[in-house]
Amino acid sequence: MVEKIDISLLLDNMVDRISSHCDARALKNPLMIGIQRGGVWVASQLHRKLALKDPLGELNIAFYRDDFSKIGIHPEVRPSKLSTNLDDRHVILVDDVLYTGRTIRAAMNEIFDYGRPASIILAILIERSGRELPVYADIIGETITLKEGEHVKLTGPEPLALEIKKTG
């Protein structure tokens, strides 16, 4: 049986780590962007707790995925929302689960289509093994190890909860 993960505690720890990371690098007023859907849910809570000035950005990476031709477009896909210029901004990119690294690669491709940020800090609620691309997070809520045939999914947005299920 998988232990219950306290998402509220993970989010509070992530807020502390993001604040420390930004302070150590003297980053003022970073722009936070969540990856739809789960990343936006996590980013919304982090954004509120950090009291960031600029509105939360939302990325829809559907058209940037390298498997788009295989999976097609999801019926609930919404457009990206970035209300500010990204040039020379420090961006905090947020997603729910870091697995293969392909979602983050797609998100960074889209971000660079909007502008050239000064830096991108990657904040992930859950990191799991199985990386296919060399993508690693700066801020991690928790690293988990899953058994063969298991996957993790964030449900929400209210309340946020993690589900670990067998595939198949």
Report helix, strand or coil for 95: strand
**Closest Cα partner for 93 from 11, 30, 152?**
30
Residue 3: per-residue pLDDT: 54
> Rounded to two decimals, what is the model's pTM?
0.90
Residue 82 phi/psi, 5-degree rounding, is -130, 110
**Residue ranges in the chain whose pLDDT is less than 50:** 1-2, 68-71, 75
Contact 75, 50 (CB under 8 A): no
**Which residues make beta-bridge pairs with 152?**
164
In order of 64, 92, 153, the CA distances from 113 in angstroms are 11, 16, 28
pLDDT for position 1: 40
Q: Can you list the domains of the chain with their CATH numbers? A: 7-166 (3.40.50.2020)
**Looking at residue 78, what is its pLDDT?**
65
